[in-house]
Amino acid sequence: MPPALPGVDVVTMDAGKARNRAVVGRMTKGWLRGLVAAVLLAGATFGAVASAAAQDPEPARAAAPVDAGAATEATSGRFGGGSLSIYDEQRPVIDEVSAALEKLRTRVDRYANDDAQLVEARIELERLARQVLAAGVAFRPRLQEINARLEQIGPPPGDGMPAEPEITSTERADLLRRKAEINALIGVAETLSVEINRLIDRIGTLRRDLFTSTLSKRYDIGNALSAATLADLQSEVVALRRTIMAWVRFVTSFKLQSLLLATLMALAAAAVLAFGARRLFGTSMEAVKGASPSYLSRLSVAFWSTLMPSVTLLVFLSATFYLYDTFKILRADIGQMLSSLFQVIAIVFFVNRLARAALGPDRPNWRLVPVDSASARKLYWLAWLTAVVTGADFVLNRVNHVMGSPLSLTIAKSLVATVIVGLLLVLAGLVRPTREDGGPRRFLALNWIFLGLGIGTMTAALLGYIGFARFMSQQIVVTGAIASTMYIGFLSAGAISAEGAFVRTALGEALHARFKLEETALDQLGLVASIATYILVVCVGVPLVLLQWGFQWGDITTWAHRLATNITVGTVSFSLVGIATGIVIFFIGYFITRGFQGWLDGSVMARGKVDVGLRNSIRTAVGYAGIALAALVGISAAGIDLSNLALVAGALSLGIGFGLQNIVSNFVSGLILLAERPFKAGDWIVAGPVTGTVKRISVRATEIETFQRQTVILPNSELINAAVGNWTHKNKLGRIEIKIGIAYGTDPRKVHAMLLDIARSHPMVLKNPEPFVFFANFGESSLDFEIRFFLADITGGLSVQNDIRFAIAEAFEREGIEIPFPQRDVNLKGAHITVSTPLADLATEPEPEPETKAASGVAGADVVALPVAPRRRRRKREDPDDGDENL
Amino acid sequence: MKSFLGAALVLLAASSPVLAASALNNDTEVRVLVVTEGSKQEELVIAPGQTVQFCFSSCFVTMPDGDRFALSGNEVIEISGGRARIK
């Protein structure tokens, strides 16, 4: 629907003295409704959507019970006079709608230039459309019934088939006739609906044309600025004073009590709100002088100190006006003027507080924008004065309209007002805040914008385009105020998401105390809060701006609804709400799964004394099943059609199958491991070359920690397809063998007894099965024995082995039993061997002189005596040529 | 805490219902519905086995066998044997 102006006084300057008193109440109530709805926007958005949904089925539901009466009668098989009731009921409704449509059509034609009338007509038409639809919906159950009955009776017999009883054919004819009637009536309703909607479209076009013509209409300034205008002004002031005095007299004589009561009630409502706000938000509204607050505190104080007083004042003014109206204190013309005055007061007050909070002219520590104090003060006054002037223009125009003043006066007033506003904007554009680094003051983009707007407004006004100039100045004030508030909202959202900022706020601390949340959790909550704030700001600000620019509330909700539920890109359509629902459902499923897992593990299995490995398996399996289920439900809730995915998956399945072979094999192996449990977490297993403790069994792989504390991640398929040794499968019992060899010549029986004694005497060695000493072999170098004993806990085997080996070493040392090195017997054939002196004697002999050695001839067999341990006996080697020296 | 958040989100999501009528064609041939929405009348062609969403606010629908219905969104229409039934 095309936009048009609601509250802006589209000056019906042609209409002159035309007044419509009946319109006043509805217009001002419309303003009331609009403002209150704007303040309660967030809830109203949902409410509007929900009510739009609820409104349509309601009339149908109201009509349905009536039809149910006819239905019960009809289903008994006899269609008597009662079945016509729904038809007879709805026919007059549709005729009524048709008549109302004609009336509205003439009204639209008559008031084609009155925007307010057009808006009214449109609201009426929308109501009619709903009525017509409800009438159509009311027929639905009846039609379903008739169809069901026709199906029951069956089709008429074909040629050559036996004829059916007359009752059946009469009934069929009757039913068909009724169906045709109903269809015809619904057809009429359909046509009506189309007509109604066409008229609504036409209203939209008319309003748009009206808007364009207002903006582009040019007035003759010269005519306005003549001496006659001053005289008109005087007479208007006199007339206004008279009207007001008359009203005051009327009130004081007849309505004084009601006036006081109404004012008191309104004050009470506002006071309650103010006190409540102070109690809840007291500290966040105060800007303490001299404090140096963080940006977030500044923002929050700015926000609350703008919002709460404005809302309080708004409530007071709305309540006052509403109560005055209810108690009939107001007259039509006074009511109009008062309503416009209240509107202006509310907006000007809001702008004042906003400027005060943001610019902080006397509180440099609390300032939100980085400007110096002088510029802040200038900007504050300029902003506020702009709002005052524009508001005054609005009020005065309404007064003119009500008093029926001549056109020239209205134009003159608007001209003066818009020129002043233009001047103020230009002055605002000339304000160049000093930079912090003391550099030369520059013109920012914002300056140019303001200059442009100001010059534009002045030019438009001076050229005679008064409508356009007024529109611009009003929009600058109101849209500017809303945009500034939204900007502050965005800034605060950004500040909340800063690291650690949420934690330090009052809300963050309360959460920390109440729910015992940690820093990181609070930080993430801060991120969530900032996103929520962004969304809230957009949802509140954008509709407000759109309402300002003339869009209707119904349009806005329709768009928002369409945006949320159906976005179509080409042939793909998805719904934001659906996706959000899917995500929410998935998270709910996820948390339920986790909770169920925890409960199952903690309460059921722990108390049932189920062992740890089994608990782990069940817990993991439940977790995976739960998440898969949640994902499926979430995807179907999101409205995503999985059948397309199935086609694609089928096509790719071959390639994917080959590629994912191993992964799927691992996955299935993981499931088998979980079910069969050849080992559990904590077991000591040997899988091929890897030996260690099982830490975690996942779906794809198992983590094993070796004794060097290295984590080896083994794919599950290896554990399933190959042999895995588990030392601690059933219990920790294990056998240890210690091999020992003793020298030939030792008494084996003695050694056997010693070894058995050593084994039995160790405290960790089990008595049952008994330790056993095994005389294994007559080895190459030694007599081989093997001690075999069982331990209760095989994982502690190393220390037991140490102990036993130490004990053996000490015992052999005591008894003098020898543990031999590898032994070899060497046989020398055909050599003359003599035994030489041992090394100790050789050392005392003097070294013979080389020449004397040669001269002395054979001194004897010089045998190379190698240093040997005295215990070890060696056959000595001799040089076979020793006897032949004299060659 | 998490459950509180989850509950809040659920309420939020649940308060905005999805309003759109949908039609499912169970026949083996193409069916045509005439949909009047607002001030426009258009033909909606549904292939066999296809489900189509239409009518986001309110509309009048004329079925292939001449039956007329007024829809207010949310209804599911099943077409079989040329006849339409509303769930």
What's the total number of domains in chain B?
1
Query: Would you tell me how many other CB atoms lie within 10 Å of the CB of residue B59?
Result: 23
Q: Range with the lowest mean pLDDT among A237-246, A498-507, A541-550, A656-665? A: A498-507
More confident residue, A96 or A638: A96
pLDDT digits (tens, 9 = 90+) for A594-622: 999 888 888 888 788 777 667 777 888 88
Distance of CA A517 to the CA centre of its chain: 20
Say whether B6 and A189 touch across the interface (CB within 8 A).
Answer: no
Exposed, middle or buried, A331 (CB in 10 Å: 0-12/13-18/19+)? middle
Token code pair at residue A688: 């091929």
Q: What is the pLDDT of residue A22?
A: 41
Give the Cα separation of A444 and A429 in Å (integer): 9
Distance of CA A524 to the CA centre of its chain: 12
A311 with A39: CB under 8 angstroms? yes
- The DSSP code sequence of A373-425 is HHHHHHHHHHHHHHHHHHHHHHHHHHHHHHHT--HHHHHHHHHHHHHHHHHHH
Give the Cα separation of A395 and A500 in Å (integer): 48
- Per-residue exposure over A528-564, b if at least 16 CB sit within 10 Å of its own CB, e if not: ebbeebbeebeebbebbebbbbbbbbebbbbebbeeb
Asked whether residue B40 is assigned to any structural domain, the reply reads yes
* A136 close to B (CB below 8 A): yes
Mean pLDDT score, A695-700? 84
Report which DSSP code applies to A601.
Answer: I
Q: What is the pLDDT of residue A70?
A: 41
A101 with A196: CB under 8 angstroms? yes
Q: Range with the lowest mean pLDDT among A20-24, A254-258, A801-805, A826-830? A: A20-24
Chain A hits for B81, CB-CB cut-off 8 Å, are none
Q: Could you tell me what percent of chain B has a pLDDT over 70?
A: 78
Token code pair at residue A487: 């900007």
Put the strands of the sheet holding B21-25 in their side by side order: B51-54, B21-25, B76-80, B83-86
Say whether A183 and B68 touch across the interface (CB within 8 A).
Answer: yes
| Distances A719 to A675, A691, A702 between C-alpha atoms, Å | 14, 12, 9
User: Mean pLDDT, chain A, as a whole number?
Assistant: 78
Is A741's pLDDT higher than 70? yes
Mean pLDDT score, A275-301? 72
Is A198's pLDDT higher than 80? yes
Asked whether residue B78 is assigned to any structural domain, the reply reads yes
Report the DSSP beta bridge partners of residue A715: A701
pLDDT digits (tens, 9 = 90+) for A80-130: 444 557 778 888 888 888 899 999 999 988 888 877 788 888 888 888 888
Chain B hits for A56, CB-CB cut-off 8 Å, are 58, 72-73
Give the Cα separation of A49 and A561 in Å (integer): 7
Give the Cα separation of A543 and A477 in Å (integer): 17
Q: Closest approach of chain A CAs to the CA of B31, in angstroms?
A: 19
| Distances A215 to A475, A526, A773 between C-alpha atoms, Å | 13, 46, 114
More confident residue, A435 or A553: A553
Give the Cα separation of A475 and A457 in Å (integer): 11
Give the Cα separation of A65 and A138 in Å (integer): 10
Name the pTM for this structure.
0.55
Asked whether residue B4 is assigned to any structural domain, the reply reads no
3-class SS string, A684-722: EEEECCEEEEEEEECCCEEEEEECCCCEEEEEHHHHHHC
Q: Could you tell me what percent of chain A has a pLDDT over 70?
A: 79
Give the Cα separation of A631 and A626 in Å (integer): 9
Range of the domain at B48: 18-86
Nearest to B48 by CA among B33, B65, B27, B32: B27
A847 HSE (CA, 13 A, CB side): 2
Distance of CA A437 to the CA centre of its chain: 41
* A200 close to B (CB below 8 A): yes
Q: pLDDT class for B12, splitting at 50, 70, 90?
A: very low
A540 with A483: CB under 8 angstroms? no
In a mutagenesis test of the A interface, which of B51, B56, B57, B61 is the best target, namely the one with the most A β-carbons within 10 Å?
B57
A638 with A581: CB under 8 angstroms? yes
Rg of chain A, C-alpha, whole Å:
51
Report the DSSP beta bridge partners of residue A742: A783
Asked whether residue B9 is assigned to any structural domain, the reply reads no
Q: What is the pLDDT of residue A23?
A: 41
Asked whether residue B11 is assigned to any structural domain, the reply reads no
Q: Closest approach of chain B CAs to the CA of A436, in angstroms?
A: 44
Q: pLDDT class for A749, splitting at 50, 70, 90?
A: very high
Chain A hits for B15, CB-CB cut-off 8 Å, are 46, 50
pLDDT digits (tens, 9 = 90+) for A560-578: 777 766 666 665 666 777 7
A473 with A539: CB under 8 angstroms? no
Asked whether residue B28 is assigned to any structural domain, the reply reads yes
Range among A221-230, A438-447, A542-551, A850-859 rated most confident: A542-551
Q: Closest approach of chain B CAs to the CA of A192, in angstroms?
A: 10
> Could you tell me the maximum CA-CA distance found in chain B, to the nearest angstrom?
56
Asked whether residue B12 is assigned to any structural domain, the reply reads no
Q: Could you tell me what percent of chain A has a pLDDT over 90?
A: 16
Kindly indicate whether the ipTM for this predicted assembly is greater than 0.90, answering yes or no. no
Q: pLDDT class for A838, splitting at 50, 70, 90?
A: low
Asked whether residue B23 is assigned to any structural domain, the reply reads yes
Is A28's pLDDT higher than 70? no
For residue B49, give the CATH number of its domain.
2.60.40
Give the Cα separation of B21 and A265 in Å (integer): 48
Is A60's pLDDT higher than 50? no
Q: Are strands B76-80 and B21-25 parallel, antiparallel or unpaired?
A: parallel
pLDDT digits (tens, 9 = 90+) for A208-225: 888 888 888 888 777 767
**CB neighbours of A29 closer than 8 A, spacing ≥ 6?**
A325
Nearest-Cα residue of chain A relative to residue B54 = A566
Say whether A183 and B15 touch across the interface (CB within 8 A).
Answer: no
pLDDT digits (tens, 9 = 90+) for A400-454: 888 888 888 888 888 888 899 889 988 888 887 776 666 666 777 878 888 888 8
Mean pLDDT score, A248-268? 85
Give the Cα separation of A240 and A263 in Å (integer): 24
A414 with A463: CB under 8 angstroms? no
Q: What is the pLDDT of residue A282?
A: 64
Chain B hits for A578, CB-CB cut-off 8 Å, are 18
Binding-face residues of A in 552-611 toward B, CB within 8 A: 558, 561-562, 564-566, 573, 575, 577-578, 580-581, 584, 587-588, 591
Give the Cα separation of A773 and A784 in Å (integer): 11
Q: Closest approach of chain B CAs to the CA of A50, in angstroms?
A: 7
| Distances A887 to A513, A831, A881, A882, A884 between C-alpha atoms, Å | 111, 20, 10, 11, 6
Helix, strand, coil tally for chain B in percent (to 5): 15, 45, 40
Report the DSSP beta bridge partners of residue B37: B40, B59
| Distances A685 to A45, A710, A804 between C-alpha atoms, Å | 63, 14, 25
How many A-B residue pairs are in contact by the CB < 8 A criterion? 107
